[in-house]
Amino acid sequence: MYVICYQLMRKKHTYFISGFVVLFLLIGILFGFKDPQENFSEKVKVTLRVIGHQLLLTNNDSVSLVLPIVEINENKFQLSFENKFSIEPQNLVLIVETALKKASLPANYLVEVKQCLNKEVVYSYQMKRTVEKSIIPCFGRFLEMDCYVIELHFTDTPSSFSNIQVTLIVLMLLVFLFVTFFYYKNKSKEEIERSESKYKTIGCFKFYPYQNKLVKATVEISLSKKECELLTIFIETPNQVIKREELMKRVWEDHGVIVGRSLDTYISKLRKKLKEDTSIKLTNVHGVGYKLEFKR
């Protein structure tokens, strides 16, 4: 018995430890990785500096500076320059598209070219994943030498979690669910096996309380729930009188109205099922209660 209990405890500990490991892995995934929005912001800033450099080179300018990139909000960034320069819209569209693709940044975005002095938009266009939905006006219009700032607004909001994080979280949850399911499945199986193998001997009968039956040799005798409950009480205190009040309270307490005749009826049924063994007797002690007697 000790060995069985020890093995069951080991199995339970194994399942719980596995569950905690999965839980800690999930916590590590959620908090251990760098914020995707932070990675996104850094990538955009580097890419915009590349775009700024390429635009200056189209003006044969390899000396003036690209000023620090300003993050207006989490999806909008501003590119500005040290000196004045001119912009060919066709070149701008091509340079921006090439740089963003190379950096694997979102394909849905809005570009606005503004004058430094009055912040008026002098040129803008919108790109979407499908070419048909993109809006690129005034391809042939040339923007004269002036001070410009370029704002890049991504119309796709980056996900709160990276694809790797989402995949790992899903995998960990599946593992956790599998471990939990396997644990409860085995637990239920063990309980069924224990209930099927657990019985009490009453004379020549084997009493299976979890299966509501008596077995004599190869013959099975079915018991009702109430008969099973009564017999269990009698076995707990053999050869002792158990008061009627106690029997009715323990068996019928949670079932509303208690009728005295109900007890007598079930005792009578139980007595008939036990009559095959003359060494046991269910006796009525008049005015007091009943006792289950075992002859030795």
Mean pLDDT of the chain: 81
Candidate from 158-167, 245-254, 266-275, 286-295 with smallest mean pLDDT: 158-167
In terms of pTM, does the model score above 0.95?
Answer: no
Give residues with Cβ within 8 angstroms of 99, minimum separation 6.
47, 50, 51, 54
Mean pLDDT, rounded, for 209-217: 88
Give residues with Cβ within 8 angstroms of 50, minimum separation 6.
99
Strand partners, 220: 215
| pLDDT tens digits, one per residue of 218-275 | 889 999 999 999 999 999 888 999 999 999 888 887 665 556 678 889 999 999 999 8
| Cα 85 to Cα 276: distance, rounded to the nearest angstrom | 111
Q: What is the pLDDT of residue 175?
A: 78
261, 198, 188, 255: which is closest to 232 by C-alpha? 198
Cβ(220)–Cβ(214) below 8 Å: yes
The string over 206-236, giving b where at least 16 C-beta atoms fall within 10 Å of a residue's C-beta and e elsewhere, is ebbbebbbbebeeeebebeebbbbbbeebee
| Cα 21 to Cα 256: distance, rounded to the nearest angstrom | 48
| Cα 292 to Cα 242: distance, rounded to the nearest angstrom | 9
Which contiguous run of DSSP H or E holds residue 293?
strand 289-294
5 falls in which pLDDT band (50, 70, 90)? very low
Which contiguous run of DSSP H or E holds residue 193?
helix 163-197
Cβ(234)–Cβ(242) below 8 Å: yes
